[in-house]
Every structure is written in structure tokens, then in C-alpha cells.
């Protein structure tokens, strides 16, 4: 993913979180017509579960769907997490989501969507 | 101008034709798509079991793609179910690769980790019937590797219930343009599979309920107790074999669906029916009625056929407040118990009679000796010169004290024997009264004197609060009542103290109160204290002697006189027993004699 960790020192944790939540919402918008509303939700939960050992602050995404994660909830889990670490964790989360999508549909929807998300994240920098 | 107009018209016409053709094509395409969706919808709706859903799914997907196999992974409780539906025979390696991939993909959509080996063992191969023909048609040998795949979560109301997986030996089989349509078919399949699951669950629950119903019916049928159920009108709607037999013995031809109250007015053959109707009506009013005795046999038998009935309302779960929709009543034939009771009472009566004869002699001779010693003591005292102070008590004084105790105890024993004799009379309502005029104050004084003789630790005080104490009653029986209550007052005041007998007039009747300073009565005994053979066991780790008949007989005697007996715990310590007696018995009581 392309949300550059080198530049993230100037970006607040709230901005990083908001940017990635927007990216996930965008994935949801694109995936829902093809695979249904619930798919992105379980993809994100499954992805968070696989990387939570490395990024424990993602535990809130394991326990509840990303749609229920609001800034006040996520702030509780981000105490002591730097923007760089947060970016790395959320990047890994998006990578896992795309890996999941690829497992489901191969290259049917991933390549254009991946490009769109990269573009979207760059715009938010 | 005309030419120009004509030319414009031609252009418009051509554009219109082109647009019309384009719209017609689009319309035809939409119609074709709608027809397709309608067809597959019908197939899924008509599918009654999961295999019909598989057939419908395969047919719908095969119209879009040519693929090797379609798999359905369903979340189960607790394990997963995998169904493999091949389009044609596949190599075992290909099957294995499919299962591996399904297990891998499942974790990406947050399914619990799946063991491919376990999945392979439990997978169900749902091969279409025409598979051998497909095999015969096949020109190329089966491949071992997956060429292309597509996995779509099966969703019902935003809940993922499983996953549809399509596999093909060839590459690039699946198409982004058809992905949306494929997901739509998967949605149809998911709903159809969920319906099948719900139907299966419903059938399983129905079978279980039916099994439970049959089991319950068998239990009710084989019960020795009679069981009958009525509707909200009090009409019997169901009864078991035992209940039927009991009612037949009572000469009742009970008709179902007819209220018992109406049946009771229609027939004279079963005079007990109104009582049964009354018990059922009490339960219909929401009251649980327990252990009501109902004598249902014809008169003339020594021990009549007796039923013990308990009835409880059946509440309507849907109404607030809950109103009974019927009554369930349990009938027990207690005739044999009554027979045994009768035999026991007869035995007790005979034994009591045998005991009374020697007891009368003991009591009489003790009285005789008391009088002799009293006379001798008077002589000794008279022989002493006047003004001489008594040096020591003569030995006769000790003898007199001992004899008084013998006399008091023999009177106590006589009361016990009388209680035993009266037991069956009270039980069967045959207590006879010998009504005569006497003064209640004299009777109470005599009882105090007799009890005081053998109760050295206690002080028994008599408190008469009325001038006229004349009464028409059975003197011996009333003496028995006072004696029984006094015996209890002494027995349950183990550390001594004062016992007061008070006589008052209240509402025109005599009210006798016997107030002790004993251990009192615990609330758990309140409802049973006047029952026969009921004893307050082991109160405060102490055993109290007695046979538990005193209060039962006392109540029987007071009731027979038209009076009332009850008790209260005193505020500080002990108990007060009360009984009221009318000054003269009513006509009914006299007629009963």
C-alpha cells in the first residue's frame, strides 16, 4: 500500500485512521455489488485476526465489524501507538484484505480496485 | 422549401428508426435477462431439499460458464458441511486441490480454521445422475491442477452462511462481466439453502415434539392415578383410563365436552358430581385445590370408595393477566388407605377400652387411699394440743403427696386413653355429646387442681372474669379439652413458669384462654397443629413426649359444641390457646346427639 510511512510523522493518528477507514469503505462500495454487503466486513475481520499478533491495536477490528468502529472507540486502542506503527498496521490490514479478495475472485476485481485504493490514499496524503 | 422540409423529415425518420431499433434490442436483452432470472428463481423456489437446490444451482451456473465443479461450504453447528457437485468426473488430485483451496479461502472470510483432511473425510459428493454419460463424452484426460476458480460468500440478510466455490481445469473461465449475475445466483442458492435448513430444523422439532407427545400420552395412559383435563367451561375434554374406571365405579357416565355442572344437574345417579364440579370451578377461578376427598360409592359400604382430588388451573400463556383455559385434575383412589385407617382405629379403640378398665381401678383406689390418708392426717393434727407448734411433718404427708401425683398422672393417662378412643369417633364424625348443665368455672378449677398436683415447677392460675358461668355442654368432654390444652402448656414450658386460665364472655359466648410461658409454636407448624398425630418434633433439639392427638380431639369436641378453637403466639414468650363455647348448644348440635 502506498500511504507513505516516511511522511506520516507529520500526519496525526486520527488522520491516518480516517484515511484507512475511508479506503476500506471504498473497497466495500466496489465489492458489495459483486460479492454482497457482508463480504468486506468479514474480509476486514479475517485480515485483522491474522495480523493482530503483530499489530495488537487492531484487536478492535477483530471483535467488531469495521462499520461499528468510530474514532472514539479506536482512540482507546491507539494509546501509545505511533503514526508510523499505525500506518504500517493499517497497510498490512489492507494488504491482507486484498489477499483475501484475490483468494475469492482471483484477478477478476482486485487489480483495478487495488490501483484505485492506492490513488485514493495518495490523494489523502 | 418543400425539398428542405422533405430532407429534414427523412433525417428525423432515419434517426427515429435507428433509435427504435436500438431500443428494441435493449428491450429484447432485458426481456431475455428477466426470463433467465425468472427461470432460475422458479427452480430455486421449487427446490424442496438441499439436493434439489444443488441441481438448480448447477443448472443456473452452467448457463453462464462451463466449469469442472461447484462446491458449497455451509457453516454448521459445530462443524462445517462441504458438498461437491462435479460437472463431470474429476481426478482425485483435482478434488484434493479444491478442498485445500476451500479450506484456505474460508479463513480469509473469517470462518473458523478448517482442517482440509477432516473436510475431505466429511465432504459429500453430490454427483448428478448423468455423470457417467459426461464421463463417456469426455475427450481429454482429467487434469490434476486447478486452472481457474471463483469463490462467492453465501449471504442471507447480511449474514454469511457459507461459500460457493466454482473450479475449472481451464484457465480464465470466469468473467468479471458475469460476476454480478453469479453472485445473484449465489444469493438465490443461499436463501433456498437457508429455507431447506429451516425446514429440516422445523421437521426435526416437529418429530421431537411428536415423540414427546407420544411419550407423555404413554405415561398418562399407564398412570395408576386418574388424570382428567377440562376446558374453560369445566367440561372434561380428556381423561386417562384410570380416571375413566374411577368415574365408572362412581356410577357416572361422564360425557366429554359437557360442563360438569350441567352433568351434575342432569343425573341423580352420581350424587358426588356437584362436589367434583365445585372443585373444578375453584381451579378455574385460578386456585390450586389440593387433597380434597370425594366419596363416590353408593351408601351401605363399610368403607366407601374414596377419591383424593387435586386440581390446578391451566393458564393461558398468551393472556395477561393469565386466565385459566382449563383445569388438570389428578384423582387418587384412597379407599384402601381408608380401610387401613378404619382397621387401625378399631384396633386403637379396642386397646383403649382394655386399658381403661385397669385404669379406672387404679384411679378409684388412689382416690380411696387419698381420702384415708387425709382422714388420718386430720386425726393426727386434731390429737395435738392447741397452740403446739408442728415439730415435723408426719410420714403420711409424704404419702399423700405421692398419692396425689399418682391420681393426677392416672387422670392424665385417662385423658390419653379417652383421646385414643375418641380418635375414630372424631375421624368418622361419630362423636356423641352428653349435654348437661354445669358451671364452667367449677370445671376449670377442678382441671387446675388436678394438673397442678403433678406440675410442681409451674404455677397454674385461674382468672374468672364473669359472674355467671353456667353452661349447657358435655362436662366430661369439655374437661378433656381443658386437660389436653393444659397438658400441652405444661409440656411445652420445660423450665416451668406461670400458666393462666382465663374465662371471659365475648359476643355472648364463653371464651377460655390458656396462656403459657413456653417455647411457642414455630410458623411451620401453624397449619398442622390441629391435625391428628401431628407433633412438634425436636424443637430446639429437644424431644417432647406425646402422641399428637390432644389438640385434634379437642378441636373435634369444640367443633361439635359449635365453638371454635385457635391459638396465637404471645408477644414476649409462649402461646395462648383459645376456645369459645356457646352458652347452650344450637338445635343442630342437639339434633346431632
* Helix or strand run (H / E) with residue A120: helix A110-124
Instruction: State the helix-helix crossing angle for B475-491 and B550-560, rounded to 10 degrees.
Output: 150
Q: Name which residue leads in pLDDT, B277 or B415.
A: B277
The lowest-confidence range among A22-36, A76-90, B94-108 is A76-90
Confidence of residue B446 (pLDDT cuts 50, 70, 90): very high
Nearest CA in chain B to A65: B110
Whether the predicted pLDDT of B537 surpasses 80? no
Q: What is the value of ipTM here, to two decimals?
A: 0.86
pLDDT of residue B210: 96
The answer to whether B108 contacts chain A (CB < 8 Å) is yes
Domain B337-430, CATH = 1.10.287
pLDDT per position as a tens digit, A98-119: 999 999 999 999 999 999 998 8
Whether the predicted pLDDT of A20 surpasses 80? yes
Place domain B44-201 in its CATH homologous superfamily. GAF domain (3.30.450.40)
Instruction: List the alpha helices (DSSP H) in B498-570.
Output: 550-560
Q: In what order do the strands lie in the sheet with B236-239?
A: B236-239, B226-231, B324-333, B306-315, B289-295
B98/B84 Cα distance (integer angstroms): 9
Nearest CA in chain A to B187: A36
Mean pLDDT, chain B, whole residue set: 85
Residue B259, CA atoms < 13 Å, CB-side half-sphere: 12
Domain B226-333, CATH = 3.30.450.20
Residue A86 inside a domain? The answer is: yes
pLDDT of residue B581: 95
pLDDT of residue B414: 86
A104 contacts in chain B (CB < 8 Å): 105, 108-109, 150-153
pLDDT of residue B140: 65
List the domain boundaries for chain B: 44-201, 226-333, 337-430, 434-593
Across the interface, whether the CB atoms of A100 and B108 are under 8 A apart is answered: yes
List B residues 149-178 in contact with A (Cβ-Cβ < 8 A).
149-153, 155, 158-160, 174-176
pLDDT of residue A5: 44
Confidence of residue B17 (pLDDT cuts 50, 70, 90): low
Q: How many domains does chain A have?
A: 1
pLDDT per position as a tens digit, B390-426: 667 788 888 888 888 888 888 888 888 888 888 777 8
CATH of B434-593, one of 2.20.25.90, 3.30.70.100, 3.40.50.2000, 3.30.565.10: 3.30.565.10
pLDDT of residue A7: 47
Residue A1 inside a domain? The answer is: no
- Structural domain containing residue A77: 8-124
pLDDT of residue B5: 45
Residue A98 inside a domain? The answer is: yes
The answer to whether A99 contacts chain B (CB < 8 Å) is yes
Q: How many CB pairs under 8 A join A and B?
A: 70
pLDDT of residue B587: 63
List the grid coordinates of B162.
457459507
pLDDT per position as a tens digit, B340-375: 888 887 888 788 888 888 888 998 999 899 999 989
Whether the predicted pLDDT of B484 surpasses 60? yes
Whether the predicted pLDDT of B550 surpasses 80? yes
A11: distance to nearest CA of chain B, Å?
A: 31
DSSP secondary structure string, A29-75?
A: HHHHHHH-THHHHHHHHHHHHHHTTT-GGGHHHHHS-GGG--HHHHH
Across the interface, whether the CB atoms of A105 and B150 are under 8 A apart is answered: yes
Phi, then psi, of B23 in degrees rounded to 5: -65, -40
Would you call B138 helix, strand, or coil by DSSP? Answer: coil
pLDDT per position as a tens digit, B212-247: 999 998 998 889 999 999 999 899 998 899 988 888
Residues forming a β-bridge with B435: B474
Give the whole-number percent of chain B exceeding pLDDT 70.
90
Residue A45 inside a domain? The answer is: yes
pLDDT per position as a tens digit, B488-512: 899 888 888 899 999 999 999 999 9
Confidence of residue B90 (pLDDT cuts 50, 70, 90): confident
The reply to whether domains B44-201 and B226-333 share a CATH topology is yes
pLDDT of residue A67: 79
Whether the predicted pLDDT of B2 surpasses 50? no
List the grid coordinates of B584.
347452650
Q: What is chain A's length?
A: 125
- A113 CB neighbour count, 10 Å cutoff: 16
Whether the predicted pLDDT of B384 surpasses 90? no
Q: Name which residue leads in pLDDT, A75 or B337.
A: B337
B335/B418 Cα distance (integer angstroms): 27
pLDDT per position as a tens digit, B246-272: 888 877 777 778 888 888 887 777 778
B102/B72 Cα distance (integer angstroms): 9
Amino acid at each position: 500500500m502506498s500511504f507513505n510511512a516516511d511522511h506520516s510523522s507529520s500526519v496525526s493518528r486520527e488522520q491516518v485512521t480516517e484515511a484507512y477507514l475511508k479506503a476500506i469503505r471504498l473497497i466495500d462500495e466496489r465489492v458489495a455489488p459483486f460479492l454482497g454487503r457482508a463480504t468486506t466486513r468479514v474480509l476486514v475481520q479475517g485480515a485483522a485476526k491474522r495480523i493482530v499478533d503483530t499489530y495488537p491495536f487492531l484487536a478492535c477490528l477483530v471483535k467488531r465489524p469495521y462499520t461499528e468502529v468510530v474514532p472514539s472507540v479506536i482512540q482507546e486502542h491507539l494509546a501509545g501507538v505511533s503514526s508510523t506503527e499505525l500506518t504500517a498496521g493499517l497497510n498490512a490490514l489492507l494488504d491482507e484484505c486484498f489477499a483475501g479478495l484475490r483468494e475469492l475472485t482471483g484477478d477478476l476485481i482486485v487489480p483495478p480496485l487495488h490501483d484505485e485504493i492506492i490513488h485514493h490514499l495518495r490523494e489523502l496524503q | 422549401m418543400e425539398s428542405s422540409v422533405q430532407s429534414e423529415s427523412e433525417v428525423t425518420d432515419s434517426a427515429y428508426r435507428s433509435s427504435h431499433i436500438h431500443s428494441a434490442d435493449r428491450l429484447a436483452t432485458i426481456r431475455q435477462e428477466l426470463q433467465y432470472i425468472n427461470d432460475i428463481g422458479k427452480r430455486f423456489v421449487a427446490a424442496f431439499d438441499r439436493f434439489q437446490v444443488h441441481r438448480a444451482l448447477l443448472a443456473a451456473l452452467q448457463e453462464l460458464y462451463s466449469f469442472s465443479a461447484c462446491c458449497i461450504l455451509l457453516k454448521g453447528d459445530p462443524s462445517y458441511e462441504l458438498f461437491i457437485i462435479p460437472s463431470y468426473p474429476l481426478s482425485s488430485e483435482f478434488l484434493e486441490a479444491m478442498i485445500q483451496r476451500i479450506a484456505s479461502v474460508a479463513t480469509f472470510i473469517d470462518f473458523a480454521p478448517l482442517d482440509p483432511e477432516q473436510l475431505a473425510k466429511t465432504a459429500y459428493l453430490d454427483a448428478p445422475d448423468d455423470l457417467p454419460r459426461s464421463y463417456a463424452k469426455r475427450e481429454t484426460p482429467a487434469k490434476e491442477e486447478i486452472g481457474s476458480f471463483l469463490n462467492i460468500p453465501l449471504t442471507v440478510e447480511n449474514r454469511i452462511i457459507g461459500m460457493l466455490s466454482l473450479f475449472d481445469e481451464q484457465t480464465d473461465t470466469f468473467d468479471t462481466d458475469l460476476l454480478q449475475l453469479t453472485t445473484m445466483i449465489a444469493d438465490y442458492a443461499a436463501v433456498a439453502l437457508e429455507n431447506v435448513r429451516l425446514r429440516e430444523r422445523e421437521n426435526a422439532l416437529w418429530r421431537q415434539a411428536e415423540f414427546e407427545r407420544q411419550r407423555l400420552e404413554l405415561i398418562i395412559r399407564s398412570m395408576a392415578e386418574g388424570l382428567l383435563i377440562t376446558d374453560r367451561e369445566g367440561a372434561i375434554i380428556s381423561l386417562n383410563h384410570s380416571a375413566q374406571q374411577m368415574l365408572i365405579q362412581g356410577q357416572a357416565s361422564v360425557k366429554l365436552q359437557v360442563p360438569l355442572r350441567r352433568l351434575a344437574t342432569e343425573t341423580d345417579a352420581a350424587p358426588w358430581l356437584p362436589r367434583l364440579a365445585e372443585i373444578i370451578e375453584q381451579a378455574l377461578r385460578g386456585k390450586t385445590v389440593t387433597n380434597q376427598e370425594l366419596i363416590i360409592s353408593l351408601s351401605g359400604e363399610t368403607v366407601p370408595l374414596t377419591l383424593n382430588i387435586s386440581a390446578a388451573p391451566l393458564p393461558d400463556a398468551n393472556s395477561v393477566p393469565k386466565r385459566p383455559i382449563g383445569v388438570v385434575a389428578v384423582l387418587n383412589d384412597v379407599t384402601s388407605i381408608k380401610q387401613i385407617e378404619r382397621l387401625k382405629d378399631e384396633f386403637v379403640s379396642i386397646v383403649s377400652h382394655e386399658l381403661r378398665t385397669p385404669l379406672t381401678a387404679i384411679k378409684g383406689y388412689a382416690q380411696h387411699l387419698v381420702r384415708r390418708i387425709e382422714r388420718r392426717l386430720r386425726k393426727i393434727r386434731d390429737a395435738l394440743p392447741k397452740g403446739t407448734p408442728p415439730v415435723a411433718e408426719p410420714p403420711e404427708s409424704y404419702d399423700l403427696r405421692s398419692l396425689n401425683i399418682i391420681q393426677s398422672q392416672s387422670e392424665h393417662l385417662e385423658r390419653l386413653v379417652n383421646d385414643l378412643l375418641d380418635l375414630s369417633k372424631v375421624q368418622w364424625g361419630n362423636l356423641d355429646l352428653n349435654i348437661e348443665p354445669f358451671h364452667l368455672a367449677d370445671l376449670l378449677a377442678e382441671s387446675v387442681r388436678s394438673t397442678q398436683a403433678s406440675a410442681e415447677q409451674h404455677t397454674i392460675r385461674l382468672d374468672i372474669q364473669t359472674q355467671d358461668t353456667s353452661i349447657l355442654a358435655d362436662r366430661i368432654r369439655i374437661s378433656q379439652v381443658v386437660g389436653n390444652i393444659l397438658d400441652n402448656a405444661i409440656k411445652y414450658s420445660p423450665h416451668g413458669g406461670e400458666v393462666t386460665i382465663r374465662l371471659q364472655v365475648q359476643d355472648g359466648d364463653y371464651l377460655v384462654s390458656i396462656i403459657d410461658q413456653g417455647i411457642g409454636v414455630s410458623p411451620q407448624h401453624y397449619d398442622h397443629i390441629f391435625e391428628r398425630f401431628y407433633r412438634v418434633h425436636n424443637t430446639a433439639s429437644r424431644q417432647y413426649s406425646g402422641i399428637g392427638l390432644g389438640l385434634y380431639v379437642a378441636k373435634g369436641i369444640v367443633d361439635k359444641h359449635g365453638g371454635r378453637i385457635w391459638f396465637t403466639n404471645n408477644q414476649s414468650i409462649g402461646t395462648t390457646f383459645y376456645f369459645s363455647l356457646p352458652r347452650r348448644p344450637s338445635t343442630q348440635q342437639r339434633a346431632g346427639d
